[in-house]
């Protein structure tokens, strides 16, 4: 295994066959597990500092999750919203990337066990994010698709296109209706944006690509367990969102809880039955973390790690968490911060300063989240915006949403690609990526 230097700092050694080889260093080693918004923000804050930063991720790319729904509905290609980590950290001499999946943390020896070997840390930062939460409904999980990563997006795209092609072939009316019906569970930002994008696909693309049947055959249902969509935003945003979706012929079912889905029939608690071959689950997430940190007193609602005001995981030395996996529980945030990009980015920047203070024996201020507002789009040219002092909706909200998202994407090329795609579709509503490049089945999940 990697040895420890006399001052406790990690040193590189490849003498042991099961160790991950890392460059030798005289500086403290900060290992970050997860390269999402929080992880990259932390790296930006630690680059060119007197620490060695090791990023571990099971993928070799960062993905811009807010636009996954556009890949799913053929609006963007996947390489427009993913960016290689090695390109991201090029030129950062103190930053190292290793592609591996973390299996367990041994905090007593400061050892990380991965599927590729082990490595030591001086400071460990968990930024592992979340996974789809099906709330224990195994049948629903087996037959549905989530929307958490780029693979989910491509699975949804291929499922949609294959089902539409099959609908054009079949002579069975009921089967055709099921193949062209879409049920989206969850009325949060992901569900609302997916419903809006699908509705515009139905309105503008379906008549051109499938003239053999009436486009009204494509039915879109948005199922939400609470009394309103976008419950995390203002009432005004919720009302406007409902208006926009209904104008796009989306069937909104509020106060409805999905209880079962067998691949064809969606059942709800009130007794409704919907025949649909396309089922997308955006109704919940849960934190994902390796073994070794999941002590009962550290886990709070949503399977998140409870952290203190400095983002340190309680009961563990030199172990921190940030982003969606972390819950800063205070009187003002009893449920932690929202699991969206802004808190993650702010926590990453904060923890960079805090770690440097800890290493240099300097005091640190508690983390304070500055809420800059929330945005959600509902199809083309319509969005809702909740800013600090006021809320608005419509075209200008959509322009703001577009600008914020383009500027947040990693890489100039990716920003350019997304901007060009949006500019083209702004006038034509064209989606040029309607390709079936592999045969999708549930077994591909």
pLDDT band for position 442 (50/70/90)? low
Look up tokens 């989206």; give the residue: 184
The pLDDT tens digits for 366-424 are: 999 999 899 999 988 899 999 988 899 999 999 999 999 998 888 787 888 788 777 77
Q: At 217, which CATH number?
A: 3.50.50.100
Q: What is the 3-state secondary structure (H, E, C) of the chain?
A: CCCECCCCCECCCCCCCCECCCCCCCCCEEEEECCCHHHHHHHHHHCCCCCEEEEEECCCEEECHHHHHHHHCCCCCHHHCEEEHHHHCCCCCCEEEEECCEEEEECCCCEEEECCEEEECCEEEECCCEEECCCCCHHHHHHCECCCCHHHHHHHHHHHHHHHHHHHHCCCHHHHHHHCEEEEECCCHHHHHHHHHHHHHHHHHHHHHCCCCCHHHCEEEEECCCCCCCCCCCHHHHHHHHHHHHHCCCEEECCCCEEEECCCEEEECCCCEEECCEEEECCCEEECCCECCCCHHHEECCCEEEECCCCEECCCCCEEECHHHEEECCCCCCCCCCCCHHHHHHHHHHHHHHHHHHHCCCCCCCCCCCCCCEEEECCCCCEEEECCCCEEEEHHHHHHHHHHHHHHCCCHHHHHHHHHHHHHHHHHCCCCCCCCCCCCCHHHC
Q: At 305, which CATH number?
A: 3.50.50.60
| Residue, of 425 and 363, whose pLDDT is higher | 363
- Are 244 and 299 contained in the same domain? no
- Are 109 and 234 contained in the same domain? no
**Predicted pLDDT of residue 423:** 74
261 falls within a domain: yes
**Predicted pLDDT of residue 22:** 95
Q: Average pLDDT over the chain, rounded to whole?
A: 90
> Would residue 104 show up in a list of annotated catalytic residues for this protein?
no
**Predicted pLDDT of residue 443:** 47
- Are 279 and 385 contained in the same domain? yes
- Are 203 and 109 contained in the same domain? no
pTM for the model stands at: 0.91
**Predicted pLDDT of residue 417:** 79
- Are 197 and 50 contained in the same domain? no
Are 130 and 148 in contact by the 8 Å Cβ rule? The answer is yes
- Are 316 and 435 contained in the same domain? no
List the structure tokens of 270.
């009130």
* Annotated active-site residue in 44, 77, 193, 317: 193
- Are 186 and 197 contained in the same domain? yes
Domain count of the chain?
2
Lowest mean pLDDT, pick from 32-36, 80-84, 349-353: 80-84
**Predicted pLDDT of residue 431:** 64
- pLDDT at residue 444 tops 60: no
Mean pLDDT for the stretch of residues 108-124: 96
Mean pLDDT for the stretch of residues 431-437: 76
The pLDDT tens digits for 128-184 are: 999 999 999 999 999 999 999 999 999 999 999 999 999 999 999 999 999 999 999
177 falls within a domain: yes
2 falls within a domain: no
Q: Distance (Å, rounded) from C-alpha 289 to C-alpha 247? A: 41
Mean pLDDT for the stretch of residues 306-335: 92
Q: Answer with the one of 299, 330, 359 that is the final residue of a domain.
A: 359
Q: Distance (Å, rounded) from C-alpha 442 to C-alpha 398? A: 35
What percentage of the chain has pLDDT greater than the value 70?
93
- Are 128 and 199 contained in the same domain? no
- Are 279 and 177 contained in the same domain? yes
16 falls within a domain: no
68 falls within a domain: no
- Are 174 and 238 contained in the same domain? yes
- Are 207 and 296 contained in the same domain? no
**Predicted pLDDT of residue 427:** 63
231 falls within a domain: yes
Do strands 383-386 and 374-377 pair parallel, antiparallel, or not at all (unpaired)? antiparallel
Q: Answer with the one of 359, 392, 423 that is the final residue of a domain.
A: 359
**Predicted pLDDT of residue 14:** 52
Q: Answer with the one of 330, 359, 388 that is the final residue of a domain.
A: 359
**Predicted pLDDT of residue 436:** 84
Q: Distance (Å, rounded) from C-alpha 234 to C-alpha 28? A: 45
- Are 178 and 115 contained in the same domain? no
9 falls within a domain: no
List the structure tokens of 54.
């090791």
- pLDDT at residue 86 tops 70: yes
370 falls within a domain: no
> Which domain covers residue 115, as residue numbers?
29-58+100-132+286-359
């Amino acid at each position: 295994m990697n040895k420890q230097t006399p001052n406790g700092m990690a040193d590189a050694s490849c003498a042991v066959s099961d160790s991950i080889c890392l460059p030798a260093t005289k500086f403290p080693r900060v290992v970050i597990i997860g390269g999402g918004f929080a992880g990259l923000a932390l790296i930006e804050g630690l680059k060119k500092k007197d620490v060695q930063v090791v990023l571990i991720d099971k993928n070799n790319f960062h993905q811009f999750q807010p636009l996954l729904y556009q890949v799913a509905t053929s609006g963007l290609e996947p390489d427009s919203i993913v960016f290689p980590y090695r390109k991201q950290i090029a030129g950062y001499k103190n930053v190292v990337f290793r592609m591996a999946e973390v299996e367990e943390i041994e905090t007593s020896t400061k050892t990380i066990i991965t599927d590729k070997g082990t490595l030591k840390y001086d400071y460990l930062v968990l930024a592992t994010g979340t996974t789809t939460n099906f709330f224990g409904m195994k049948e629903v999980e087996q037959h549905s698709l989530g929307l958490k990563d780029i693979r989910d997006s491509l699975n949804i795209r291929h499922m949609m296109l294959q089902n539409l092609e099959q609908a054009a072939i079949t002579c069975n009316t009921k089967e055709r209706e099921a193949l062209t019906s879409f049920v989206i569970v969850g009325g949060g930002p992901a569900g609302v944006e997916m419903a809006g994008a699908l509705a515009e696909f139905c309105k503008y693309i379906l008549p051109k690509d499938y003239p053999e049947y009436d486009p009204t055959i494509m039915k879109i249902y948005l199922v939400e367990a609470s009394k309103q969509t976008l419950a995390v935003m203002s009432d005004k945003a919720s009302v406007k969102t409902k208006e926009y979706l209904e104008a796009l012929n989306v069937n909104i079912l509020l106060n409805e809880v999905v209880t079962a889905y067998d691949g064809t029939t969606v059942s709800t608690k009130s007794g409704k039955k919907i025949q649909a071959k396309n089922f997308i689950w955006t109704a919940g997430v849960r934190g994902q973390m390796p073994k070794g940190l999941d002590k009962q007193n550290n886990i709070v609602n949503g399977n998140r790690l409870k952290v203190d005001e400095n983002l340190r995981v309680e009961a563990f030395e030199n172990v921190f968490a940030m982003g969606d996996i972390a819950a800063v529980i205070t009187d003002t945030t009893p449920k932690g911060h929202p699991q969206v990009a802004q808190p993650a980015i702010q926590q990453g920047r904060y923890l960079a300063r805090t770690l440097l203070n800890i290493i240099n024996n300097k005091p640190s201020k508690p983390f304070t989240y500055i809420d800059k507002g929330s945005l959600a789009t509902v199809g083309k040219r319509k969005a809702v915006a909740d800013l600090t002092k006021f809320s608005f909706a419509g075209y200008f909200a959509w322009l703001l949403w577009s600008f914020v998202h383009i500027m947040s994407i990693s890489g100039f090329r990716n920003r350019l690609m997304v901007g060009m795609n949006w500019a083209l579709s702004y006038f034509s509503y064209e989606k040029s990526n309607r390709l079936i490049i592999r045969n999708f089945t549930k077994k591909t999940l």
